[in-house]
Structure 1
Amino acid sequence: MSDYRNSTATSAASVFDKVFKPGELTFGLLTPLEGYPNSDTPTMRNHTALATLADDLGFAALWLRDVPFRDPAFGDVGQIYDPMVYAGWLAAATRYIAIGTAGIVLPLRDPLAVAKQALSVDQLTGGRFILGLSTGDRPSEYPAFGAEFENRSERFRDAHTLITAAVNQSFPVHQSKFYGTLDGSLDLVPKAKQARLKTVAVGRCGQDISWLADNMDGWIWHQSNIELLPTVIESWRAACGPQVFKPYGYGTFFELDRDPDAPLRVRHGIYGGRKALIELWKRQRDQGVSHVALNMRVSSRPVKETIEELGESVLPLFT
């Protein structure tokens, strides 16, 4: 059982620093905790029990996706449930594991409502919440919300600045371009369990790397060319500055082969037996990857088996 699992619940106020540690690699699971390679919709069977299992085995985080609609052209509805509502449900079923969003499609939501929801979940989880933000990858959803797709990057910056002011200041004064005005007469409650609610960029969010480095506390991108990964991390570190640790992680489709000696295969995801995966992840840890979020949607193997094998034979090697 991993050291993360052995942490006490009362120390969860520093959950961000447990999920993202300099020189170490942790693992998270993207919801739904289910393989559904031949459908766009998961069954969500046993999802609460699987989340509890992941918590017990020492996974660092559960990441919840923000997919408002079923778009047949895209072919994936994520975990079906709204991520903030689902986060509250999972908070009651788990004790140690971080619960994060990957990520809230910020240009489609009211930023003050997002801030209120994030702070509420943060308090209800005892500080186990991580707010991951994105601009999404589905242009078809923008007209349904009456939102412009073309200015999503600018609105993301504006919304993030408003959230930062409302969450981390008392009776803030802030003028937003696209949203509302805070004149110092109102204070958003509750406040975060930590001194500050940290935010993670999920994807590029329509921004250049320097903006992400200046304004976000970490970056989770997609699995890129594994040979080019050191260059990506070097660019990120250069943008953050030599004295600042801001973690880099990635999300990827994933299938764990039953044969522990099966070779590594990398295409639209990572596939292989645990021995090859251990070697890959040790190398990536040394290159500077702090967190890997595994999406088992493509897996034909029962997810319970995968979670158990990772928890028993892989996670202990990285803690």
Structure 2
Amino acid sequence: MRVGAFYFPADYGINMAELAKALEDRGFDSLFVPEHTHIPASRKSPFPGGGELPKRYSHTHDPFVALSFAAAATKKLKLGTGILLVPQHEPIVTAKAIASLDQLSGGRFILGIGGGWNVEEMENHGAKYQTRFKQMREHVLAMKELWTKDEASYNGEFVKFDRVWSWPKPAQKPHPPVILGGETDHTLRRVIEYCDGWFPRPRGGFDVVKGVAHLHQMAEKAGRDPSTITTIVFGAANDAKALESYDKAGIQSALLAIPDESRDEILRYLDKIAPLAKLPLAA
């Protein structure tokens, strides 16, 4: 199992190129960035974590721009969205941005996706809370057509385009891995149907190890080989025993949180947790 990190790419935080280089130098496998295109000032949608919405949510860089700087500063570090709010992104433009980043980084991009929780935010993009998952599915399937076909087309409820040409194609074949966040059975069914992996969070008492076993059982019943589904734990505990338990469960990767602190504090924190990136875990 590999150990990476995630960080809200805040405009007041550490430079993304410096952070990426620091992670790679310390032996971390990956850097994932969350996104919010904006935060509506009404604040009608309550923060799922409870209390006031943290400052970083309204100060994030664009994920593709941030990861491009991270890619240019590194050689091996994997780069991912954790998560991209897919219903808020027009799929033709998004597919090109992803393919460009994957090609220019030498095939290092991972597309972490989700439907989102902020109703007003998605409505500002013309998406609806009630249909966000259906729209997300269509956007992903349409992007796969653009990535894998020289002449692509798609005809759905939310996405429609006749025969088009779109290059570049991603470096990874058939396309960058698509991993879906969430912890419900609804999420697992979506993972099995059209994703390459699962992106669970071990919070609120949710047991990721049991969740992986459940996912594999569901996959087998649906006729999909469980070995074709990758699991990346988002927000893993900074604890060797927890990481070892994920490794024994066959989980491929775990992401540790980087705090919303100053540059110097973040670099000191990376030094503190760096031994976790070098645990004798299975590859």
TM range (shorter): 0.7 to 0.9
Work out whether 1:190 is the aligned partner of 2:168: yes
Q: Return the letter of the residue paired with 1:248.
A: T
Report the CA distance between 1:116 and its aligned residue. 0.6
Matched, 1:315 2:266: no
Aligned equivalent of 1:65 = 34
Which moved further from structure 2: 306-315 or 134-143? 306-315
- TM-superposed deviation, 1:299: 7.4
CA–CA distance in 2 between the matches of 1:69 and 1:234? Answer: 36
Contact persistence 2:35–2:84 (CA under 8 A): yes
Unaligned 5+ segments in structure 2 are 48-52
Give secondary structure in 2 for the equivalent of 1:160. Answer: helix
Q: Take 2:154 and 2:259, find their aligned partners in 1: how far apart are those partners?
A: 41
User: In the alignment, does 2:255 pair up with 1:293?
Assistant: yes
After TM superposition, give the deviation of residue 155 of structure 1 in Å: 0.8
Counterpart of 2:23? 54
Q: How far does residue 113 in structure 1 lie from its aligned partner after superposition? A: 1.1
Quote the offset at 1:303 in angstroms.
Answer: 2.2
Q: Secondary structure at the match of 1:112?
A: helix
Partners of 1:177 and 1:58 lie apart in 2 by: 44
Output the CA distance in 1 between the equivalents of 2:207 and 2:67: 34
TM-superposed deviation, 1:158: 1.3
Given residue 137 of structure 1, which amino acid in structure 2 is its aligned partner?
W
2:30 counterpart letter in structure 1: A
Structure-1 residue corresponding to 2:266: 303
Residue equivalent to 2:85 = 105
Matched, 1:230 2:209: yes
Aligned match for 2:4, one of 28, 43, 52: 28
Deviation at 1:313, TM superposition (A): 5.5
Give the 5 Å matches for 1:240-255: 240-241=219-220, 243-245=225-227, 246-252=229-235
Cα distance change of structure 1 residues 70 and 173 upon mapping to structure 2, 3 Å threshold: closer
Deviation at 1:99, TM superposition (A): 0.6
Is 1:115 matched with 2:95?
A: yes
Distance 1:191 1:206 in 2: 33
Structure 1 residue ranges without an equivalent (≥5): 1-24, 34-40, 255-269, 272-276
Query: Does the 8 A contact of 1:32 with 1:42 survive in 2?
Result: no
Alignment counterpart, residue 127 of structure 1, candidates 78, 99, 107: 107
Q: Is the partner of 1:249 in helix, strand or coil?
A: strand
Judge conservation of contact 2:16–2:70 (CA < 8 Å) in 1: no
Following TM superposition, by how much is the alpha carbon of 1:207 offset from its aligned partner in structure 2, in angstroms?
4.1
- Structure 1 distance, partners of 2:135, 2:276, is 44
Q: Distance in 1 between matches of 2:86 and 2:97?
A: 13
Change beyond 3 A, Cα 1:206–1:124: farther
Matches within 5 A, 1:154-233: 154-183=134-163, 186-197=164-175, 198-203=177-182, 207-224=186-203, 228-233=207-212
Matched residue SS, 1:181: strand
